Amino acid sequence: MKRNQKLFILVISVILLFITQLAVSIIPNQMPNTSKLFISLVVIVGVVFCLKLGNSEKLVKNTFFIILFLGIGISFIKPVQFGVDEETHLRWTIRLADGQLFTREQEKQPDWDTVEKYDTLRNPAAEHAKNGFPNKFFSDEHEASTYSGKKIGINNISLIPNALGWKIGMVTTSRVAVAYYLGRIFNVIAYALMVCLAMKIGKKYREVLLLFAAFPTTLWIVSSFQYDWLFYSLSLMILAFITRFISEKESIRKKDLIFYLVTTTLMMFPKFPFILMGVVPLFISKRYYINVKDKIWYGISLIGSVLIAVGWYLQSTIVKKISNGTSPEVSTNITNKAGISYFIKHPLPIVRTFIRDVLGSFSGFSGSNTSNPPAPLQYVQHTSSFITGILPVIFTFLFILVTIRIKIKLDKTTKIFIYIGYLVISLAIIYALSGDNRVGYNIGELSISGVQFRYFYPILLSLPLLWRDWMKKIIPINEVKELEDESRITDFLQISMIYINVLILSLGMYTLVS
Nearest Cα residue to 224 out of 143, 165, 141: 165
**Which whole number is the average pLDDT over 107-125?**
83
234-266 confidence digits (pLDDT tens):
999 999 999 999 887 777 889 999 999 999 999
Beta bridge partners of 154: 102
Does some domain include residue 508? yes
122-131 b/e (C-beta count within 10 Å ≥ 16 → b): eeeebbebeb
Nearest Cα residue to 178 out of 238, 97, 236, 253: 97
Nearest-5° angle of CA 365, CA 72, CA 21?
65
Length reported for the chain: 514
Residue 433: band (very low, low, confident or very high) from pLDDT cuts 50, 70, 90? confident
In this predicted structure, the answer to whether residue 130 has a pLDDT above a threshold of 80 is no
Residue-level pLDDT at 499: 93
In this predicted structure, the answer to whether residue 181 has a pLDDT above a threshold of 90 is yes
Residue 46: band (very low, low, confident or very high) from pLDDT cuts 50, 70, 90? very high
253-312 confidence digits (pLDDT tens):
899 999 999 999 999 999 888 999 999 999 888 888 888 889 999 999 999 999 999 999
Contact 62, 25 (CB under 8 A): no
In this predicted structure, the answer to whether residue 315 has a pLDDT above a threshold of 60 is yes
Does some domain include residue 19? yes
Does some domain include residue 173? no
Residue 480: band (very low, low, confident or very high) from pLDDT cuts 50, 70, 90? very low
Does the pTM surpass 0.85? The reply is yes
Q: 250 in the Ramachandran plot: left (φ > 0), alpha (ψ -120 to 50) or beta?
A: left
Residue-level pLDDT at 513: 63
In this predicted structure, the answer to whether residue 429 has a pLDDT above a threshold of 60 is yes
**Mean pLDDT over the full length of the chain:** 86
Range of the domain at 502: 1-51+478-513
Query: CA-to-CA distance for 136 and 80, rounded, in angstroms?
Result: 12
Contact 500, 215 (CB under 8 A): yes
20-41 confidence digits (pLDDT tens):
888 777 665 666 678 888 899 9
Count of domains forming the chain: 1
Query: CA-to-CA distance for 70 and 75, rounded, in angstroms?
Result: 9
**Which whole number is the average pLDDT over 57-77?**
93
In this predicted structure, the answer to whether residue 331 has a pLDDT above a threshold of 90 is no
Query: CA-to-CA distance for 81 and 50, rounded, in angstroms?
Result: 30
In this predicted structure, the answer to whether residue 159 has a pLDDT above a threshold of 90 is yes
Does some domain include residue 410? no
Residue-level pLDDT at 297: 93
Residue-level pLDDT at 198: 96
Residue-level pLDDT at 400: 92
Does some domain include residue 491? yes
